[in-house]
A and B are shown apart, each in its own frame.
Chain A
Amino acid sequence: MVSERQWGATGKGAAVRFLPVDRLDDLVTALRGDGRRVVGPVVEDGALKMAEFEHAAELPFGWTVRTAPGLVRLERRPADAQNADRVFDNGPAWSGIKPWTFPSRVDALSLETRSDGSLAVRVEAPPATATAVIGARACDLAALAVHDRVLAGGPAIDPDYPSRRADFFVVAVECALATSTCFCASMGTGPEVTAGADVVLSEIDGGFAARGDSAAGTRLLDRLALEPALDVQIARATEQVAATRASMGLGVDADGLHDRLLANLDSPRWAEIAERCLACANCTLVCPTCFCTGVEVASDLDGRASTATRAWDSCFTAGFAQVVGGSFRPQHRDRYRQWLTHKFGTWFDQFGTSGCVGCGRCVAWCPVGIDVREELAIIAGPAPTSTATAPQAAAPVLVPGTRILAMARPAAHPGSTRIDYVETTVAAVRPETADTTTLQIATDDPALLAARPGQFVMIAMPAFAIPPISISRIRLDGLELTIRAAGPATSFLARIRPGTKLALRGPLGRPWPVEDAYGRDVAIVAGGIGLAPLRGMLDQVLAERERFESVRLYIGARTPRDRLFVAELDALVAQGVDIRLTVDRAGPEWLGRVGIITELFRGAKPTGANVTAFVCGPERMMTAVTDLLSDLAVPPEHTWLTLERRMECGVGLCGHCQLGTRFVCRDGPVFSVAELGSDLRQESL
Chain B
Amino acid sequence: MAIATTAPARAAVVNRPRVGVVKFASCDGCQLTILDLEDELLALTDRFEFVEFAEATSRRSSGPFDVLFVEGSISSPEQAVEIARLRAATRTLVTIGACATAGGIQALRTAAEHEAFRAAVYPSPAFVESLAVASPVASYVNVDAELRGCPIDAHQLVELLTAVTTGRRPQLPDQAVCLECKRRGLECVVVTRGEPCLGPVTATGCGAICPGMGRGCYGCFGPREGANVDGLARWFIDGPAMGELAPGDVGRLFAGFTGAAPIFREVTDRLEGRPLIQLQPAGAYPAELAAHTPPRWASDARETPDA
By a beta-carbon cutoff of 8 Å, the part of chain A in contact with chain B is 44-47, 49, 68-74, 94-95, 99, 104-105, 274-282, 285-286, 296-303, 305, 307, 311-314, 317-319, 322-326, 331-332, 364-369, 456, 463-465, 467-470, 482-484, 486-492, 529-530, 532-533, 616, 642, 644-647, 669
Contacts and interface: CB of A to CB of B under 8 A. Distances in A.
Given A279-B228, A533-B307, A94 B183 contact: no
A287 to B, nearest CB: 10
Contacts of A105: 183
Contacts of B303: 324, 464-465, 467, 486-490
B290 interface: no
Contact of A68 (B167, B171, B241): B241
A367 B155 CA distance: 29
Contacts of A645: 305
Contact of B185 (A104, A324, A616): A104
Contact of A301 (B162, B175, B190, B301): B162
Contacts of A325: 301, 304
B304 A467 contact: yes
Main secondary structure of the interface of A (DSSP, over half): mixed
Interface in B220-249: 225-226, 228, 230-232, 234-235, 239-241
B19 interface: no
Contacts of B91: none
B279 to A, nearest CB: 25
A347 B185 CA distance: 26
Main secondary structure of the interface of B (DSSP, over half): loop
A68 B240 contact: yes
Given A44-B187, A69-B241, A104-B184, A276 B231 contact: yes
Contact of B306 (A317, A366, A482): A482
Contacts of B225: 317-318
B171 A296 contact: yes
A111 to B, nearest CB: 13
A197 to B, nearest CB: 24
B214 interface: yes
Contacts of A317: 174-176, 179, 225
Contacts of A94: 187
A488 B167 contact: yes
B159 interface: yes
A419 B301 CA distance: 26
Contacts of B162: 299-301, 303, 463
A105 B183 CA distance: 7
Contacts of B176: 278-281, 317
Contacts of A313: 179
B44 interface: yes
Contact of A278 (B158, B159, B228): B228
* Chain B CB within 10 Å, residue with most, of A46, A312, A492: A46
A74 B166 CA distance: 49
Contact of B187 (A45, A319, A491): A45
B305 A468 contact: yes
Given A72-B191, A467-B305, A312 B182 contact: yes
A527 to B, nearest CB: 12
Contact of B235 (A72, A318, A367): A367
Contacts of B158: 301
A298 B2 contact: yes
Nearest to A466: B303
B54 interface: no
A275 B232 CA distance: 10
A300 B2 contact: yes
A616 B307 CA distance: 8
Given A301-B162, A302-B4, A369-B239, A280 B200 contact: yes
Contacts of A616: 307
A312 B179 contact: yes
B34 to A, nearest CB: 14
A646 B2 contact: no
A365 B191 contact: yes
B3 interface: yes
A280 B187 CA distance: 14
B47 A285 contact: no
A582 B194 CA distance: 62
24 contacts: A46-B193, A70-B241, A71-B191, A72-B187, A105-B183, A276-B235, A277-B231, A278-B176, A280-B178, A296-B171, A299-B162, A301-B47, A302-B166, A303-B165, A312-B183, A314-B179, A318-B225, A319-B173, A319-B302, A367-B191, A456-B305, A483-B306, A490-B306, A644-B304
A484 B214 CA distance: 47
B190 A297 contact: no
B2 A464 contact: no
Contacts of A644: 304-305, 307
B179 A49 contact: no
Contacts of B44: 301
Contacts of B187: 44-47, 49, 72, 94
B165 to A, nearest CB: 6
A331 B228 CA distance: 11
A369 B2 contact: no
